[in-house]
Structure formats: C-alpha cells, structure tokens
Structure 1
Amino acid sequence: MSEATMPAQALLILEDGRTFRGTSYGAVGTALGEAVFTTGMTGYQETLTDPSYARQLIVQTAPHIGNTGVNAADNESAKIWAAGYVVRDAARRPSNWRSEGTLDDELSGQGIVGIQGVDTRAITRHLRERGAMKAGIFSGADALRPEAELLAEVNAQPSMEGLQLAEAVSATEAYVVEPADHGWDGEAKFAIAAIDLGIKGMTPQRFAERGVRVHVLPATSTLADVQAVNPDGVFLSNGPGDPATADAQVALLREVLDAGLPFFGICFGNQILGRALGFGTYKLRYGHRGINQPVMDRATGKVEITSQNHGFAVDAPKDGAVTAPEERFGRVEVSHVSLNDDVVEGLACLDIPAFSVQYHPEAAAGPHDSAYLFDRFIDLMASTAAATQTEEKN
C-alpha cells in the first residue's frame, strides 16, 4: 500500500474524555453525534442507510466489517444517514457475488467519516456502563488538534434527548408503492397511509407483497392529507429523535384514532401511540440496537428474536389491561416486553383498532420471526371494514 492510500490518523473521543486511537475509514474529517453500539453480525449496509440512525455514530460490535461489500439493492433509503462509523477490522476487499463496490469507497463517496482499528469491545463495554453519549470522530488534520479542543467540540453539540429529527429525514413529497411492483398478482386488497418519520424501504415492500397499496406521506402530513388517499388503515414508521418532540404526529394520531381508522406503528410509531394514549416516554441508558433482541409476546408466551434500533421507550404499566390516560381510547395493555431488560416492546388497544411494536418486523438482514405483524394489521383492517359494513346495513 502506497503512502498516498494509507489511512490517516484518527481518534474517537467520548464526552467523558475517553479516547480511542485508530486510522481513518471512509471520508477524512470530523463527525459528531451520539455514540451507540449495534450487536448485529450482518446487515451493516441496511444499518447505515436506516434513517433512524441520523445524528448517531454507529459502533459495530461484530469485529469484521465490509467483507460483503455494498450493493444498490440492500439500501434502506437513498443515502447513508449515520453521522459516523466505528469498526475494529475493516475488510481489505469484499468477497461476495452481489458486491458492487467497497464499503470504504461508499463511505468516502457520501462523506461519512469513520474510524477503524479501535477496540470496539472496550467501547461497547464503556457505553453499556456509562450510557450512550456525545462523541466525535476526528481524522487527518483534525486528529492533530489538541485533545482538549476536540473534547470541547464534542460536548458543545446538542444531546439526542430533545432533538426533533423525523421531519429532517422524511420524504418531502408523497409517493405510492404498488403491490404489482412487488410480486402481487391481482387487485390491491387494501390501501394504507404510511406516515414517513424515517421509514425503511423494506416496510412498504412487506405490505405490498401482501397486496396492500402504500401511500407514503411526509412527516408533516395532516388528517386531511391522510383522508385524501382514502386509506383502510394508517401506519406510523420508525424514525430518529426524541418522541417527546413529536407533538404534531401525536395530535395527528389522536385524530386518526378518533376517526376509527385501524392503526399500526413500528418503533417511533410505537412511542407516538404511547404518547397519543397519554403515556410518557423516556431515554434508555444505551438503547436496543441489533438483530438479535429477544422479545416475549405476552398473549402467546412465544419468544421472538427481533431487529431493533431505538434509544427511547414507552413508560406504560405492565401489570395487565388499564384504561388509557386519554380515557376516550379505552383499555390498553402492554403486548410485548424485552427479555433483556423488561422494556415495553408493544402496545395493544382493546377497545379501538390499534396496536404497535417497538421492534422491526420488516427486518431486512433478518430475523423474520415477527413478519406475522403485517398480516395482523391486514386482518385488523378486514375486521374493521366488515364491522363497518354490518353497522351500515343495520
């Protein structure tokens, strides 16, 4: 390797002053964000292009990253949303028949600053003990600046708590995902309005594969925008930021629930349902990120291995059905819980057609234990439509 292609010096600085030295990976410069770790051993491309990782520096716990390269088909959105990337052993070259380029080149091409050659196990243990925290990656000339100056820059950035980010990652214009484009043979069975708070590309695809036409709407959409597409149901997607800032989306969901439209939410959508029902949300110490998170379905007793990416959670009672603080929505129960730390992983409304989960049933890169939830929503729309027709006849 020539000097011209040798990686530059780089360092990762956490807000408490802990420093890790390595070499550059991807673009050279400065990246600021919240340092978080993800435990998946595969799916790094889907992780990087997941809008929920906006403003975050991703630490990969799997040591060897980049060995399958990158390709256009596996992107979850049009760009890399992660603020920066931290790996231990970056692959020198990809080895996979689907590869269309190297991860290093993709990071460089999109201006994503990363660091390689650091002890990601030590970083992960530190974040588990101290919690997710502000951090910065500095490489090249930026890495040569005084560490006290770099630490001050790290700590001057805003905290993830209180950040409103969904509007920044959402689509600016509505678009439609048709069932016929994803292998469905025949007329669409249902149509849904999907509010894009940072939606992953695989989510509307999973609906479309089941015969559902998906109208993807911007995060700023109103009830009039939703009703304009004449949906059979409404979906709220995953997304980044603090759910405590999503007042507009909470207000919209309350209008949707008042209108009697069936509702399904994933991740950020689960937190917004929690708020719409009157519960609070809070920031987790280090969050759940990875494709190996165990969740218990309390109704069946079955354990699902799930894909997750969230740093906030719903604060709801787990001791059975309760009347929602917003009493007009009736009874609600916690339907799923994390088996790692007992965090709320799902909500089920008992008197209105609405439910949500904190994890990702679309799970590009797997696992697929939770794919049944898309079918559950279709069944909910079907039963709601049937009940409405019966009422109209009577």
Structure 2
Amino acid sequence: MKKLSKLSMIVMTLFLLVGCGNLGESSLSSHSQNGKKVTTTQASKSGQYSTLLQNGHYKTSPISGLTGDSDSNNNHNLRSFEAGLLSVSQKEFSPDKYFFQEGQMISATTAQKWLNRQSADNPLGLNPKDNGSKDPDKRNPIYLQQLLEQDFYTQNDKDYRLAGMTVGLSMNDVDYYTKERYGAVFETKISDSQRQAMGQEMANKIVQRLRKNNNLRNIPIVVGLYRQNVNDSLVGGTFFSYGVSHKNGESIKDWKPIKEQNQVLPVVNNETPINSNDADDFSNFKNHIESYFPNLSGVTAQVHYQDGSLNGMVITITTQFYGVAQIRSFTQFVQEAANRYLPQQPALEIKIQTVQDMQSLITKDYNSKQFTNHVLISY
C-alpha cells in the first residue's frame, strides 16, 4: 500500500475545496450537531457543493491516497478520479439539496484489506488470489487500484444527517508488476469486459458490506467505475459506468454507461484526434502565440469529452519569462488569442508557468464567453 505525500494530499485537498465551495469567512454559516459546531461553506458557483466543516476544520477522508499493489504510477489519474467522482455524485445528489464531506465511513484499515488480494490471511480482499504465475497472460492481475468515498448530507432544521454516499472504484487498464524485487516491470493488459465484470462484482460486495453499518442501511449508495490510464499517458483516465443501490438495497441491478474521453494535444504516437476541428483550433492558437513569442518551452492541452462533445480544455504554456511586466503582457496576449482561436463552449483553463513556478492563470466557465485572468505576484 502506498500513501500520497503530505504535499500531494494538501494540493488535492485545496483543489477539492475550490471545487466544492468558497471558504471566505462571509460565506460560512454555523450550526451545532451532536455537541459539535458544524460550519457549512456556500458554493462559489452554481452546480458545486457546499461543504461541511466540523469545529471549523475540513475533514479529509482516511482512505484518500491508498492504492493497490500494482506499480501503476500516473499522477493524472489521482486528480481526474477525484474530480470525476464528484460529477458522478451529482447524477444522484444535487448540489442544490446536499452538502458534501469527504468520506468518513470506510476506515483506512478496511480499505487496505479490500485493496489487497484475497488470501487466507485476508478473506476481505477484493483483488483475486495470487495464482503463482508470472506469465502476463496467465497470472491473476490486480484489478482494483484505488477506492474513494464521498458523503452527502441534508439539513433538517439546524441538524445535518447523512443522506447518501458515493464510492469510486479505480480499475486498472494495465497491471504493472515485477517478477522479482527491484526487477524489470512487466504488464498484464486488462480488457474492457474484464474490467466491467470485475468492477460490478466488487461494487456489489462493497454495497453488501456497507449495509451492515446501521447508519448506511437507509441511504442510496452510488458506485462509479473508473478506468485508470496507463503510466506513460499525459492525461488521466475516465469513468465508464455507474449504478445506484437504493435504500436498503443489497446490490446494484442497473448500470448506466458513462461516455468520456481524454486526450493530449498535439496528439502523440500517431494518434488520431478525437475531434479534428478542436485539434485544428488548438493548433492555430498554439502557432499564433509561438509566432509572436518564440521563446516558449512548450504549449500543450488536455481535452475532455463527454458524450462526444468537448467539455473542458486545460492548456499549459511553459515560458522563459520572469519579469512581471512581461508576464502581464503575455497573459493578455494569450487571453486575446484564446478568445479568437479556441472553442467557446468548453470550460477553459490556461496555466502560464516557468519550469519552477506558476506565473498566471486564465479561466473561462463552460458555455461562457467571459475570460478572467490573474497574474501571480509576490512581496
């Protein structure tokens, strides 16, 4: 089992806080629950969750960052898994009705047992027993790489009660393993059908185990299945299916497909762009800013599609500028180029950075034409 570094945990927590609510003091409201002061943030944007804070503190989940025994190592998976699970949760738990808190019901000890292989010493393991084979096509791979829990509360008068839960299962696309300690890394490819079948089987086992907790018997439990991307990918994976176990249900009988795709632009390894028009728009944007500012180290984009439509684009521009005046001028130029060349519908985020530091940020919401930018300064 591996834990995220303390710095990574802090970054992910701050990312989630920004995604769920505004932590400004003026947006906080306080109540008491079971002798504890419960503070709620107000969502900073429509469609985002308000967050529960207990005694003024944000509670992180004890299982965040725990992973299975595969040598999977792609940090993009970690963030896209967490952000994507919030989108899955919104399918059942509306941000207009529910308050968010990182999962507190599954302990770290329990999660470690579930993520490990099943064995005589660990009957609760969700990953299959080790059959002893080292052959890529004959061994039992590690299917489940990571678990994530999100809890959702409703307010009754001044009290908050747990009213729903979402569990994410991050499933490997490739199981990386070694035949000997510190040896070469080998790969077992996992098919889509294997991943779907194992994910659904594991989901039902988890639901049955969670229902033994009296606090979880009468709430809906959503389970989302996520496909991890391979180690050398420059984008994270995507969710491919989800289902709901309704109140008192012991299983999920109806699974709904999720159609998501991620890609890097410019495309690499002779890939075909998911959408050639979007790829051409980005290429024109890239060529325009590089023609005026040739001393750029790189311009790349991550694109995210939902149901075949471009939903989001994250662009990273690495420069050799360090002066504040240079960065301000360049940021304005990039914003004008984005408005001129890039698709207008998706959410856009443009990060301008040097090798060492972030310099400025340009953003635009989904279906909005209004860009905002901020140049980072120090005193």
Asked if these proteins are the same fold (TM beyond 0.5), I'd say no
Question: Which category of TM-score, normalised to the shorter sequence, fits these structures?
Answer: under 0.3
When normalised by structure 2's length, the TM-score is 0.26
Higher relative contact order (CA 8 A, sep 6+): 1
When normalised by structure 1's length, the TM-score is 0.25
